Structures are given as C-alpha cells and as structure tokens.
Amino acid sequence: KPEEKISEKQICEEREKRCLNNNLQECKNNKWQTIEICEYGCNSTSFTCNPAPAQAEKPVEKPNYYIIIFLLLLLGLAGGIFYFSKYKK
C-alpha cells in the first residue's frame, strides 16, 4: 500500500507580500515572515512602508513692528529736541 503524502495547506504564495498592522511581511516557505517594521505604517496597496511625514516649514518670522515704531518715535523725539534747542532761542 503506497504511503500517502499529507499535503500542507498552502498559506501563501512564495514572495507574496502583505501588511499586518505596521509589519511588512513576505511569504517564504509557505510562512509569513516580517521583513520590515514600518515606523509610519504599512501601505497595503504598494506593500511598502510609508515615508516619514514631511517636516512643516517654519513660518517666516515677521519683523517686530513695535520696535520699529518705538525707534521712529525716539528718532522723532530726538529731532524735535534738536530743532527746539537750536531754533527756538
């Protein structure tokens, strides 16, 4: 009586990929093996790890208008003092 070989149930196709939570897995020898742990999540469409989010650009710092106004007032005050001291004698 010939021995019957018990066939293993096929779990996955060789080299097939899938995402399981944040793990990118590949089928090797009918077993799922994690090939990469994705820090920013696994893309189950492309079967790749998601890239890091783009860094938000720093907003351009606006000049401090209070300092400019203060300096202009100070300059005007100094000019006024100079004018009155020289021409109002």
In this predicted model, what pLDDT tens digit does every residue of 11-52 receive, in sequence order? Answer: 999 999 999 999 999 999 999 999 999 999 999 999 999 999
Q: Is residue 44 part of a domain?
A: yes
pLDDT of the residue at 73: 94
Q: Is residue 8 part of a domain?
A: no
pLDDT at 8 over 90: no
Q: How far is CA 2 from CA 5, 6, 57, in A?
A: 9, 12, 72
- Write out 7-23 in H/E/C secondary structure: CCCCCCCCCCEEEECCE
Domain of 70, in residue numbers? 17-52+62-87
Are the C-beta atoms of 14 and 28 separated by less than 8 Å? yes
**What is the DSSP code (8-state) at residue 29?**
T
Average pLDDT on 63-71 reads 84
Question: What type of residue is 78?
Answer: A
Q: Is residue 5 part of a domain?
A: no
